[in-house]
Amino acid sequence: MEFIAPKQVDRILLVLRIVFLLTLLGIGLAAFRHFTTISPTEAMTPAVLALTGIFALGGIIVLSDMLIGHKQITTLSAVYFGLLLGLLLGNILCTALDPFFFDWQANKTESPLRQGMTVLVSVIACYICVSLLLQTKDDFRFVIPYVEFSRQVKGNKALLLDTSVIIDGRIADLCETRLFDNRMIIPRFVLNELQAVADSGDRLKRNRGRRGLDILKRMQSNPKLDIQFHDGNIAGAEDVRKVDERLVLLARVLDARVVTNDFNLNKIAQIQGVEVINLNELANALKSVALPGEILQIKIVKQGDQPGQGVGYLEDGTMVVIEAGRQFLNQDVPVTVTSVIQTPAGRMIFGRAERGPNDIKPVESKTTTMVAFPPHNAEGGFPHPNSSGNQGS
């Protein structure tokens, strides 16, 4: 599916607005010519007013369209159905009020009082209906017929990506294998969180955030992926500050699945009845990338919990616990994988620091250098190792 770029949309809107203003200008000139043809001297003022009023109305409409950005089809649908309901209810109310207010009038249809009352009641009903639908458009339903102000999803459910799965990077590899052909939605608040991580003062977090942005750019460059950004506000989410809660709420509104590596988000979504795809569980169903005996190049960034342990991380954030790695802090060392543990909460790799096959391990060097020297002789020197044997012989 092909999408129109934002710059191309702006050009199309500019052309549309110019054509709209030129059309209104033509209508205004036609009205001006009509008034001046009837009475050239007396109708000059109405003609000028008609021309100016029509063109000013067009300018107000275009200006309002430019100021109101990010319009959504759900909002427009709510306004449309609200106006229809308001006019219908206004007409019904005026018909019901006729016997109470207009019994003394002979001509009910032509009465200015009845016309004014009809307009007033219709305006009030339209305002109430439009306001009600705008505030409840995400969960308001009609019973007969069944109508819901939400996007109709055809085919597979859309996938909502969270920050952890973007930084992880495996989602891009899976998409390139054509495993997922679903429409992928990235909410604006997830993108903002990713940008905040990329701008963090902590170097590790900053590198992870930049990696996530690179992964996102890589996914966007894939022509086979249908990636969209969701900018709309969610009804009932004004007071929700946590990204996880807003993500679950958005998934319920859009009837989408959440793709995440976050164990807590996985549990929260399942409790609220939202389908979740956990890449860690998917990796657990497959084979692990790091196998025992494999050598990885890891930078040890901090000390471990146990004596002598060091801790490093892979590019995707996987923790690597390294035996005898504390002495190589802030150094890149080859690590031999000894075991891999995969859980729903993530993957953990255990390894042993290596400096090469011919190098003596620093831990063993302490024992090899501690040798016992014999006591020196009376002359102040050390006896020859074989001197005692020679004397004995």
Fold of domain 295-358: OB fold (Dihydrolipoamide Acetyltransferase, E2P) (2.40.50)
Between CA 195 and CA 217 the distance in angstroms is: 13
From residue 27, alpha-carbon distances to 31, 302, 389 in Å are 6, 75, 126
- The per-residue pLDDT for 392 is 42
Sign of CA dihedral 88, 93, 98, 102: negative
For the record, the structure tokens of 2 come out as 């092909």
Which of 102-106, 262-266, 332-336 is predicted least confidently? 102-106
pLDDT bracket for residue 1 (50, 70, 90): very low
- The per-residue pLDDT for 30 is 79
- The per-residue pLDDT for 386 is 46
Whether residue 229 has pLDDT greater than 80: yes
Percent of the chain residues topping a pLDDT of 70: 70
Span 279-305, mean pLDDT? 82
Q: Which of 314, 154, 138 is nearest to 235 (CA)?
A: 138
- The per-residue pLDDT for 372 is 42
Angle between helices 6-38 and 44-67 (to 10 degrees): 170
Whether residue 331 has pLDDT greater than 80: yes
- The per-residue pLDDT for 300 is 93
- The per-residue pLDDT for 237 is 53
The pLDDT tens digits of the residues spanning 163-186 come to: 888 998 888 888 888 877 788 888
Between CA 211 and CA 169 the distance in angstroms is: 8
- The per-residue pLDDT for 363 is 39
- 27 vs 197: which has the higher pLDDT: 197
- The per-residue pLDDT for 234 is 63
Residue found by looking up tokens 């996914």 in the block: 219
Q: What is the pTM of this model?
A: 0.44
CATH number of 159-285: 3.40.50.1010
Whether residue 222 has pLDDT greater than 50: yes
Q: State in Å, rounded, how far the first CA of the chain is from the last one.
A: 98
- The per-residue pLDDT for 356 is 44
- The per-residue pLDDT for 146 is 43
- 35 vs 383: which has the higher pLDDT: 35
Pure H helices in the chain: 6-38, 44-67, 73-101, 112-136, 163-168, 170-176, 188-198, 203-220, 243-254, 263-271, 279-285, 362-368, 387-392
From residue 222, alpha-carbon distances to 8, 214, 219, 242 in Å are 20, 13, 5, 30
- The per-residue pLDDT for 321 is 94
Span 358-375, mean pLDDT? 42
pLDDT bracket for residue 104 (50, 70, 90): low
Span 233-247, mean pLDDT? 67
Span 299-309, mean pLDDT? 91
Whether residue 338 has pLDDT greater than 90: yes
- The C-alpha angle 171, 172, 175, rounded to 5 degrees, equals 85
- 77 vs 2: which has the higher pLDDT: 77
Mean pLDDT of the chain: 75
- The per-residue pLDDT for 333 is 93
- DSSP state letter for 323: E
Residue found by looking up tokens 């003596």 in the block: 360
The pLDDT tens digits of the residues spanning 105-155 come to: 555 555 666 677 777 888 888 888 888 877 776 555 443 344 444 555 455
- The per-residue pLDDT for 143 is 37
